[in-house]
Structures are given as C-alpha cells and as structure tokens.
Amino acid sequence: MKKTIPLLPLMRCLYFVVNILILLVLVLVSPTHIFAAGSASLNVLPSQGQYGIGQTFTTSVVVNAGGVASNAFQTTVSYPRDILDATSISTGGSVCTLWTSTPSINASAGTISFSCGLPTPGYSGGSGTIARINFKAKKSGTAIVTQSSSRVLANDGAGTDILGQTNSATYTIIVGSPNSPSIESVTHSNQDIWYAVRTFEATWNKTSGIDGFSVIFDQDQTIDAPTQITQTSASYSVSSVDDGIWYLHVRAHSEGGWSDTATYRIQIDGSAPHSLELIIDPPDKSDRRPMLSFSAVDEGSGLDRYKLSTDEGEWIVVTSPYIPEQISVGNHVFTIRAIDASGNFATTSKNIEITSPGSVTFATPQNNQLFYIAEGIVITGQAKPNADVTLFIDGNALPDQVVVNDQGNFSYPFTGLLRPGTHTLEGKVTFDGIDGEKSGSVQFKIDGSLVQIGNYRFPVWFLVGLLICVIILLLVIILWLLFFLKRRKDKKRNCNALAVSELLTLKNTLDQKITETQQQESVEAAKYRLNEVKQTIDSEITESTQRLIDSSESEE
C-alpha cells in the first residue's frame, strides 16, 4: 500500500518559503527604503518645565536621524503668544550649514519657521541641535509648544522623508517671587571706597509685575527689609548723612510675593583728620639737616598718607620721620598735610633757620697772583673739616667735588686752559646736605705773552711760528706722497700694457706659424712642427711673465 503525503502541510511549508524569499529580495533590492522610513524624529527640548512670570528660558529644536544620513530639515514651531514671547533665535552650533529659509519669528501668529540642510554625507546622529529659541514668560498659565509642516529628508538622492514623529513641549508659567533688585549708585559707585560726599543717591531695576518696594537705610548690615511696601519708585536719595558705614536694604514685591533683600553699602567720612602735630629737631635753628616727625588722628576712613611742601613748593608724599636730602642756608617753612582715605585733610606748618656750614679761605692762588698760559694751578685752602667744597672760576662750577680733610685743609690741581686776563675764584661749602654761600673770592691773572710747558716758558710768537713750520712740513710730505703714488700707478699701467702687447704678438706669431705649417707640410709633419712651436711659445710666455713679475716687485 502506497504512503500518501498530506497536501495541507505541504502547501503551508511552500507558502512560508515563498514569503521568506520575497522578504530577502526586498531587503537586497531596496534596504534603504525599508529601514529609513519613519526612523527620524524632531523634538522640542526640554519637553516640559516650570518658569516664573518675567523669566526667560531657552528651548532647542533637536533632530534624531535614527542612524540614517539626512541632509535637509524643516519645521514650524507654534507657541501661545498670550503666555509666551519669542524674543530671539540662535543658530550657533547648529548641524545645519545651509539655510534655505532663515529662522524667523512671526509674533502676530505665534510661529517660528525655518528650513535648512548640510552637504554630503549629511547628519546621522541622535541629538543634533538645529536652532535654539529664547522665550520670555508673560503671564501665568500652561503654554504648549507644537510643531507642524515638519520634514527630515534622507541623503539618498531621492530626498526620501524619513520623519517618523515630532513632539510637543508643555511649559507651566507660575506667579513666582521676583528676583532681588540690582542696586547702583552714582554718588557712591564703589562699595569698598570711602567718600566725603554726604548725599547718597541710588537706583535699581523694576521688572514687569513688581508693584512696590520695601526700603530701609541704616547702619545694620544683617537685617532684612520688612514685608511692607514703603515706596513704588525704583530710586532712593538721602542728604546730610553722618560719618560711618551705612546700608541700603531693598526688597521687591509682586503678585508672587517678596524677593530676597538686596543690600548696598556706602562708606562716608566727611571729617578731616585732627590732632595733627609737627615736630622739627632741632626746633628753631640748625647747622645740619633737620628731622621732621608728624602724626594725626582720623576715626572715620583712617589716615591714608602725609604730604610735605617746603617753602610753598611742590607737594611730595613722605613718611615720619623725614629728613630732607639737601637744604640751603636761610629760613625755611615746612608744611605737612595729613590726608584720610576719603580725601579730607588737615594742614600745619613750622619754620626753621638753617645756618651756614662755614666759608672757604684760599691759600693759593693768592689775590692778583700771575700765571702763564698752560701753567698748572694748584688750588689750596681751608674749610670746615670733612665738608665738601665746590669751586667756581668766573662763576662756573668745576666738575669735581673737593673733600676737606680732618684738619680742614683741601688741595685741587686745576689743569684746564684759561684765556689771558683776570679771573675770579670762589668756593662753596656743603656739609650734611646743607649748601653754604659762595665765599673766599680771589682774583688771579693769566699772562698771554708766555706759554709754560713743564718747567720751561716760551714766547707765544715762537710757538706760533714753530706750529706754522710743522704745518708746512706736513703739507710738503703729503704732496710728495701723492706724487709718488701717482707715478707708481702710471708705471704699473705701462708695464701691464707692454705685457699685453707682447702676448698679443706671440699669439699672432703662433697663428702665422700654424698657417704656414698647414700649407707646407703633411699632417704628420704638421703635428711635429706644431709641438715644437708650442714649446717655443710656452717658453716665451714664461719668460715674459717672469719679466712682468720682476718689474712689479722692483716697483714695490
């Protein structure tokens, strides 16, 4: 008996195999269309949030390409314009580099539209930001932000739309407490600086929804302004403020409640330092530089610096104690000024007489002493021991300072040249920074008829004549050297010309002999003859060159 195969199971098996084959063919023929369709999404992020009235926040339109290369995006974002304001759009850091429709806000319709793209290979990531939208909350309520007319096109050459879904975002706008005011002052702009101005003025920001402020001005840094509206304006001013550190406390009120307290500090010191004292040692008269000591008191901003003026001159910053670097003989007025951190100051002055450190007495030269031109003059004399002496000839100070020894003597060799005639010598003593007066005036003469050189004296006319002779001799030597150099140059030029002429003659002789050889002899004989001619010419060139060298050496 034959065994039969059931027909129904066989048909089911064939149907399953055929379906598998069809699926494989579709995958192999068009895999992109199968997996690309519906794989992308456009999202508004964050998808939810809670914000206070007047607060600004940012949302982003983000593409998820689902791993499929995409190169074009389009959407229209809608928002409730009675609850939100779209203030601006940012495309910085966008995946798009080409904008076929730049993002634009239609405030009357409450929409934001754009379309953009990028070159091959496109974008296939999962969180690519296309644009950022900045919103500002206008009033309380629920704001739903949606999308429409959205597309994500694949980079497949056919522009297949692979957008599968878009989302909507829900934002809850609440009546929140306002932010703390930001206080500024024109009169006291820096909270860390002391001011002498006693009138204080301040302003702060007043945002939408704020209906009043609580304002307190006192010297307590830690308190909060009470929850009670004291004014509606965003400014405050007060005059005749006492010295000290003061604080302005401001809180803002709105439908959502009270803000935190904002505090602004001002430091006022309108009083000058007091109890300023100046002590000069020695007090009234001194033969040395005096020492100044000074002090003052300031309970407000504190003492900042002292300044000193001598004889109503320029003010300089000094510290106590102070000793002048240099001072002249006579009466002087020292004025000291104490300045606090606010710029307030107090001033006091004292006088002192500075006596002379002594005078100069000259031993040499003596009055009306005669010297000759170029004769060395040794200036000697007496002054205060260990002092410095400045010498003056005809009122001009000599560059070197002369030091007086312990016995009060000094000596200075003057080696400069002075014109014939009468000259005046003076000196000035300086001791411990005190400049004395010019003293010890002596007149001496320079005789112009003789010139002293060492221990010998010569008439001026003799030296002038000798100088003229030397100059003439130098001119003769120079002219002779010029003539000799010119003659040598001409001789060398003639020698070179002769050598060139001889070489040219040799060349012509060689050319002539070569021609004769070519015409009269056979090829072999010509070779032999040419070799002899070459040796002869080489010998002649060598001899001519040697003559040229010998001639040049003899000229040198």
pLDDT tens-digit map of 90-143: 999 999 999 998 899 999 999 999 999 999 999 999 999 999 999 999 888 999
Percentage of residues in the chain having pLDDT higher than 90: 58
Taking 50 as the threshold, does the pLDDT of residue 4 lie above it? no
pLDDT at position 523: 60
Q: What is the pLDDT of residues 7-22, one digit of tens each?
A: 555 555 555 544 544 4
326 — pLDDT class (breaks 50, 70, 90): confident
Residue 180 DSSP code:
P
pLDDT at position 526: 62
Nearest CA to 154 among 35, 24, 28? 35
**What's the per-residue H, E or C state across 229-247?**
CCECCCEEEECCCCCEEEE
Beta-sheet strands, E only, within 365-506 = 369-373, 377-382, 388-393, 396-397, 402-403, 409-414, 421-431, 434-453, 456-459
Q: What is the pLDDT of residues 197-247, one digit of tens each?
A: 999 999 999 987 899 999 999 999 989 999 999 999 999 999 999 999 999
Which residues make beta-bridge pairs with 340?
303
pLDDT at position 461: 66
Mean pLDDT of 329-356: 94
195 — pLDDT class (breaks 50, 70, 90): very high
pLDDT at position 265: 96
Kindly report the pTM of this predicted structure: 0.50
pLDDT at position 2: 43
Q: What is the pLDDT of residues 475-528, one digit of tens each?
A: 989 988 888 888 888 777 777 777 777 777 877 777 777 777 666 655 666 667
Q: What is the pLDDT of residues 413-434, one digit of tens each?
A: 998 888 889 999 999 999 888 8
Taking 90 as the threshold, does the pLDDT of residue 177 lie above it? no
Chain mean pLDDT for the chain = 86
Q: What is the pLDDT of residues 144-164, one digit of tens each?
A: 999 999 999 999 989 999 999
Q: What is the pLDDT of residues 258-295, one digit of tens each?
A: 999 999 999 999 999 999 999 999 988 888 899 999 99
pLDDT at position 18: 46
Rounded to whole angstroms, how far apart are CA atoms 201 and 188?
Answer: 8
Pairing of strands 303-310, 330-340: antiparallel
Rounded to whole angstroms, how far apart are CA atoms 157 and 30?
Answer: 13
